[in-house]
Amino acid sequence: MSLRLAVLASGRGSNFAALRQACADGRIDGRVVGLFSDKPGSGAVALAREAGLPAWAESPKAFATREAFDAAMFDAILAVQPDLIVCAGYMRIIGAAAIARFPNRMINIHPSLLPRHPGLHTHQRARDAGDAEHGASVHIVIPELDAGTVLAQARVPVLPGDDAETLAARVLVVEHPLLVACVAAVSRHALALDPPRWQDLPLASPLQLEGDRLVPSPS
């Protein structure tokens, strides 16, 4: 069964574009059935509209409360009947009530090797902490910020002379294949979310991206 993907994005939309491309060329057995955003002027929304894809984009300022915004967006998301929600650069915290409407079927890509550096400014913080390694994680969304089970990670070195910008660019290169590999694995039933399983075995630690493939962590 082809996976119906709802994608949430707030920014330029490069992860969203990578997902669409992977659906188009068959790496993901699925299709994006809607793009949802809290930033009507974002690149991601423009990309969706250019592609003729249904896009829901509203400013949270138009809603009385955070919960009202989440409720309206999740009404629109559930209306497209997704199998999986993918947060691909969605920069707004999603409240517990909204998450509870679609539990354990929502994933997020985060630009750090969780549990290191949840939240914002991850590249600067990796630099400031003197980390030798940095990267990206795909995790299950739960109400606690960036704290759900980490499904897979991609690692990059931190090099002398790096700043937040050079590090962000190096991480972004691996984010696209990481997110695509995770969604592809879900679409082919190699990766299950509830409970987290890889090839029918409980997922004991995050999978690692090697090239464009996911492999178990060395034990």
C-alpha 212/C-alpha 184 separation (Å) is: 11
C-alpha 106/C-alpha 86 separation (Å) is: 6
Burial 49-69 (b: 16+ CB within 10 A, else e): eeeebebbbbeeeebeeeeeb
* Selected binder of ligand GAR within 98, 172, 209, 214 (CB under 6 A): 172
Could you say whether residue 111 binds ligand GAR (CB under 6 A)?
Answer: yes
Could you say whether residue 14 binds ligand GAR (CB under 6 A)?
Answer: yes
Could you say whether residue 13 binds ligand GAR (CB under 6 A)?
Answer: yes
**Residue closer to ligand GAR, measured from CB, 60 or 197:** 60
Could you say whether residue 86 binds ligand GAR (CB under 6 A)?
Answer: no
- Tokens 């949270």 belong to which residue? 60
Could you say whether residue 110 binds ligand GAR (CB under 6 A)?
Answer: yes
Q: How far is the CB of 122 from ligand GAR (least distance, A)?
A: 7
From 110, 123, 134, 139, active-site residue: 110
**Phi and psi torsions of 73, nearest 5°:** -65, -40
Q: Are strands 191-193 and 196-198 parallel, antiparallel or unpaired?
A: antiparallel
* Selected binder of ligand GAR within 3, 8, 15, 185 (CB under 6 A): 15
Could you say whether residue 55 binds ligand GAR (CB under 6 A)?
Answer: no
**Residue closer to ligand GAR, measured from CB, 15 or 187:** 15
From 136, 139, 177, 179, select the one nearest 156 (Cα to Cα): 136
Residue ranges in contact with ligand GAR by CB under 6 A: 9, 11-15, 44, 88-89, 91, 109-111, 136, 172, 175
